[in-house]
Amino acid sequence: MAYLILGLILWTVAHLFKRVAPELRERVGNAGKGLVALGVLVGLVLMVIGYRQAAFIHVWAPPAWTVHLNNLMMLGAVFLYGMSATKGRLRGAMRHPQLTAVKVWAVAHLLVNGDLASLILFGGLLGWAVLEVAIINMAEDWDRPAPGEAKRDIVLVIITIVLFFAMTFVHNWLGVWPFPG
């Protein structure tokens, strides 16, 4: 669990660095971007290794129906994440679509995983996303971008479906079939 926790800390510190220490971030210049990227990458690798190595410690037993809710929420999370890059009508519908997607993703995974490592990983990333939104909202005003063309939202829906099934394939490849049988 040490790698998992260390990864979460590194991920959080790297992401919050610009917001918590803006003067220091400015002083390190472009090298700071590389340091942040390295911190995020190493944090992610540590989380994956730590999660995969963690002993299964049962905390609670999720009901079987939560798998269906998880899959629906994951489809929504992929869509929300994609909203950050859309140039369609949905552009600007939400201030933090990527962080909202992380929150939906984390809650969805908390619904179907009742072990301690999952609670630490998904709960930790949920806490990070909530904290990140709060800090950004306190620090910056937001100008809602003008909506674009509706046809780009259709492209977003298609990309969402393709990515959702690609993620299903990756889960299956890792030995986790996300659909009940």
Q: How confident is the model at residue 26 (pLDDT cuts 50, 70, 90)?
A: confident
Rounded Cα distance, 49 and 51, in Å? 6
Instruction: Give pLDDT, residue 166.
Output: 93
110 within 8 A of 122, measured Cβ to Cβ: yes
| Nearby residues of 86 by Cβ (< 8 Å), 6 or more positions away | 148, 152, 153, 156
Rounded Cα distance, 146 and 149, in Å? 10
Instruction: Give pLDDT, residue 138.
Output: 92
142 within 8 A of 94, measured Cβ to Cβ: no
Burial of 135 (0-12, 13-18, 19+ CB in 10 A): middle
Residue 41, both tokens: 């990458």
Rounded Cα distance, 106 and 127, in Å? 9
Instruction: Give pLDDT, residue 22.
Output: 81
What is the tens place of the pLDDT at every residue in 103-158?
999 999 999 999 999 999 999 999 999 999 999 999 888 888 888 888 888 999 99
What average pLDDT score do residues 162-180 get? 86
Q: What is the largest distance, in Å, between two alpha-carbon atoms of the chain?
A: 55
> Between residues 180 and 74, which one has the greater pLDDT?
74
Instruction: Say if residue 21's pLDDT is above 90.
Output: no
Average pLDDT, the chain: 91
Instruction: Give pLDDT, residue 181.
Output: 63
Rounded Cα distance, 76 and 126, in Å? 16
Instruction: Give pLDDT, residue 139.
Output: 87
